[in-house]
């Protein structure tokens, strides 16, 4: 479960401050996808960055299960991200030299002492996730041998390597055509159910919203009441 409580985030803007996130509260439960939509510049990515503990808010707090993650030190927040949070950014920032399987396993080898048993378990988990995202048999391919949609699938699989309780996804379909985009949304819905993550999914593509368990709309950083009233229960 992730709960955002009265989050406000501002950025310096000349001699004033720009309010990117304006008193936003929402709760997402395990096994559900909450869609976050709104025009460009409405604060969607900023909200995800705060939820991901990458930026500290000016006010409000982020609860993950029973932990107030806004109160953590930088070291504790980094550990929490490693153990509990999966993050999928807009562009799959894969390492050109690594195979799909290595993109995933490198996550578990960062900062860990590599025993042979652990490496085997990591490789098995990587293959299981590649299979889950429809890339069984593509584990040995490097990014340039994969299509845009396949690279985004590797990106999603990589975010799940740590078996996160919270999955944060920012506009995963923006570089894809309609059909490939729809299949990526399907995939995120299915994985959320299978892995029981609390998922926040940013998209400005309205066609995907009816599939989600809840939808919120941001306008100028704030939740829009009118759009909320129209969202599915
Ligand atoms: N690092 C930053 N420094 C200053 N302003 C920022 C920064 N990141 C975002 N903003 C501003 O915050 C507002 C919200 O941006 P963003 O969260 O990226 O919106 P969205 O993802 O909905 O397009 C915009 O006005 C943007 O220019
Ligand atoms: Mg954005």
Span 156-195, pLDDT tens digits: 999 999 999 999 999 999 888 999 999 999 999 999 999 9
The chain-wide mean pLDDT, for the chain, equals 92
Across-strand partners of 219? Answer: 222
The answer for residues whose C-beta is within 8 angstroms of residue 186's C-beta and 6 or more apart is: 211
* pLDDT number for residue 97: 95
Residues with CB under 5 A from ligand 2 (ion): 44-45
Output the CA 181–ligand 1 centroid distance in Å. 24
DSSP classification of residue 66: T
Would you say the CB of residue 10 lies under 6 angstroms from ligand 1?
no
Residue whose tokens read 């069984």: 136
Q: Which CATH superfamily is domain 2-98+163-226 in?
A: P-loop containing nucleotide triphosphate hydrolases (3.40.50.300)
pLDDT tens digit string along 96-112? 999 999 999 987 776 55
Dihedral Cα 68, 69, 70, 74, nearest 10 deg: 140
Would you say the CB of residue 11 lies under 6 angstroms from ligand 1?
yes
Output the CA 131–ligand 1 centroid distance in Å. 35
pLDDT tens digit string along 47-96? 999 999 999 999 999 999 999 999 999 999 999 999 999 999 887 789 99
Dihedral Cα 124, 127, 128, 130, nearest 10 deg: 160
Give the residue whose CA is nearest to atom 2 of ligand 1. Answer: 11
- Regarding pTM above 0.75, the answer is yes
Output the CA 23–ligand 1 centroid distance in Å. 16
Ligand 1 atom closest to the Cα of residue 46 is 17
Checking if the pLDDT of 202 tops 90, the result is: yes
Residue whose tokens read 């439960």: 29
């Amino acid at each position: 479960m992730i709960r955002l409580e009265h989050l406000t985030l501002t950025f310096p803007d000349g001699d004033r401050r720009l309010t990117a996130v304006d008193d936003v509260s929402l709760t997402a439960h395990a096994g559900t996808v909450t869609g976050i939509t709104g025009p460009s510049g409405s604060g969607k990515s900023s909200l995800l960055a705060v939820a991901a503990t990458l930026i500290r808010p000016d006010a409000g707090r982020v609860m993950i299960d029973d932990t107030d993650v806004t109160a953590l030190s930088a070291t504790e927040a980094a550990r929490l991200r490693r153990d509990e949070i999966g993050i999928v950014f807009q562009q799959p920032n894969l390492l050109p030299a690594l195979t799909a399987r290595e993109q995933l396993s490198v996550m578990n080898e960062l900062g860990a002492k590599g025993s042979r048993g652990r490496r085997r378990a990591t490789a098995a988990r990587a293959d299981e996730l590649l299979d889950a995202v429809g890339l069984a048999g593509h584990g040995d391919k490097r990014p340039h041998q994969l299509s845009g949609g396949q690279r985004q699938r590797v990106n999603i699989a990589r975010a799940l390597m740590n078996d996160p309780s919270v999955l944060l996804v920012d506009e995963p379909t923006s570089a894809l055509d309609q059909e490939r985009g729809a299949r990526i949304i399907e995939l995120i819905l299915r994985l959320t159910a299978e892995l029981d993550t609390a998922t926040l999914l940013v998209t400005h593509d309205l066609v995907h919203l009816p599939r989600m368990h809840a939808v919120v709309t941001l306008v100028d950083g704030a939740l829009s009441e009118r759009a909320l009233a129209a969202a599915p229960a």
